[in-house]
A and B are shown apart, each in its own frame.
Chain A
C-alpha cells in the first residue's frame, strides 16, 4: 500500500482514530507520518497535550487565565507539566478537559469500579441500574422466572439504599 499523502513510499504507519465513535484511518509512510505529527501521537503524549489546547476549542480565543482554587495550577501549568496538580483541578477545568478525555479515551464517563466504602450508595445505584437493564433483556426474551428473580434483587437493593 502506498502512502496516502505522498503516494510515493510504502505506507508503514497506520493510524486509527476514534473520536466520539467516529473512526478514521490513515495509511502513511514514516516521513509523512512524522511531518504530520501522527507518529508522535502515540509515543509523545507531552506534545500532544500541549498542542491540544492550541486548537480553537475556545472559540479561537485564548482561554481566560483560571487557576485551581486548591493548588493554584493554571491551564498553562498543565501544558508545561502534562499533569494536573490535585483532584480539585478536575472540577476547575472540567469543561476544558471533557474534549481531551473524549479524545484520549473515546469517552468521558466512568463505567468501572466505584470505591466500595466511600461511595457505597453510588455503588448500589449502579447495581440497580445494571439490574434494570438486565430485567429489560430477560423480559424481551420472555424469561419471566428470571425477571421475577431480578425484580426481587432490585427491591432488596432499593430497601438497602433507603437505609
Chain B
C-alpha cells in the first residue's frame, strides 16, 4: 500500500487535513448485510472481487477479505480511515478494496453492501466527488444497484437514502480552541444542517483539535448542491480559524503563543511516557506553531504523519511487536523524541 493522503498537503492544507466522500450503495436482489445470510454475504463478496477489473481503466485497486487480514493490519486500516471501526470487528463476510495510493477504499458488507470512499488531502470536495462518481459508474456498469426513481439509492438506514452520499472535511482548529471559541463556531455549524464529529466518525472523541464536518441529509438535493453547502460552511470555519490564528500572532499575544508551542515541544522532546491523548494534544500545538512560523526547522507533513503513527496499531507495527499498554506509552514517547529531533 503506497503513499497515503495523510502524508501530503492539499488546498487550505494548513487547516483542512483531508476531504472524504462516501457513497452508500446496495445490490438490488440481495438483502442488506444486517439481514443477509452467509450465502448472500458471500455473493456480495464474490461480486466485489470483480471490481479491480471493472476499475482497471481508472486505477489499480486490490481486494482483501477481512477475515484473512491480521487484526493488527485491520487496526492500521482503521487508523488510516480506510475502514470504519465497526468494519474491523466480526470480519466474517466482510471485505475491503483499496487503491494503490490509498485515495479510494470500498468497504464491502459494512452497514451497506458497498461503501465507496474517496480520501483526498486538503479541501477538495468537488474533485473527490468526481472520482467517487467515476468509481460508482464503473461498478454500476456490471451490477444492478438498489435504486428507486423517487427516493434514490436505497440504503440499510433511511438516514442515508437518496444520494447515499456523505461528504466530510477534517479540520484542525487549534487556534479557535485556544481562544475558547470552538464551541461557538461548531454550534453555528450545526445550525446549518451539518454534523460535527470527532476524528473517527460517529460517537468518537475528538483528539488534537481535529473535527469532521459532514452533511447530515442525503435526500432532496443534488450531490453538488450538498457539497457546495458543505464547502461554504467549511470556508466560514476556516476563516474563523485564520482570524483566531492572526489574533494569536498579535504583538500582545505573540510571546504567550510562542510559550505554548515551545512548552509543547519541550514535553514532546523530553517525555519518557506519553499517552496518545496527551501526544495528540501537544502535536496539535506544534502543528499550529509550524503554521504560524513560530517554530523553525520542523516539517509540517512529518508532524501530521506522526499524529497517525503514534496510534496503537501503527506503533506496534513500527516496533514490530505486540506491546502491553505500559510499554506503549514508553515507546510512543521514544518515537516522538526521535522524530522531532531538529
Contact = CB atoms under 8 A, between A and B. Distances in A.
Contacts of B163: 110, 112-113
Given A70-B31, A85-B32, A97-B158, A14 B223 contact: no
Interface string B151-167: 11110111101110100
Nearest to B141: A117
B219 A86 contact: no
A101 interface: yes
Nearest to B149: A122
Contact of A87 (B133, B146, B217, B225): B146
B223 A83 contact: no
Contacts of A100: 158
Given A86-B146, A112-B221, 4 more contacts: A45-B157, A83-B156, A84-B158, A106-B220
Contacts, number: 123
Contacts of A61: none
Contacts of B152: 110, 112-113
Contacts of B141: 116-117
B162 A110 contact: yes
A74 interface: no
Contacts of A85: 31-32, 34-35
A108 interface: yes
A15 to B, nearest CB: 9
B219 A101 contact: yes
Contacts of A43: 203
Interface in A63-112: 70-71, 73, 81-87, 90-91, 97, 100-101, 104-112
Contact of A115 (B31, B145, B151, B162): B145
Most buried by A among B144, B195, B219: B219
B126 to A, nearest CB: 14
B43 interface: no
**A interface residue count range (under 10 / 10 to 19 / 20 to 34 / 35 or more):** 35 or more
Interface of A: 14, 16, 18, 42-43, 45, 70-71, 73, 81-87, 90-91, 97, 100-101, 104-119, 122
Nearest to B218: A105
B291 interface: no
Contact of B150 (A87, A109, A112): A109
**7 cross-chain pairs, A with B, having the tightest CB-CB distances, nearest first:** A107-B220, A110-B152, A87-B146, A112-B163, A85-B35, A105-B219, A86-B31
B28 A42 contact: no
A109 B220 CA distance: 5
Contacts of B146: 86-87
B219 A108 contact: yes
Interface string B213-235: 00001111111010000000000
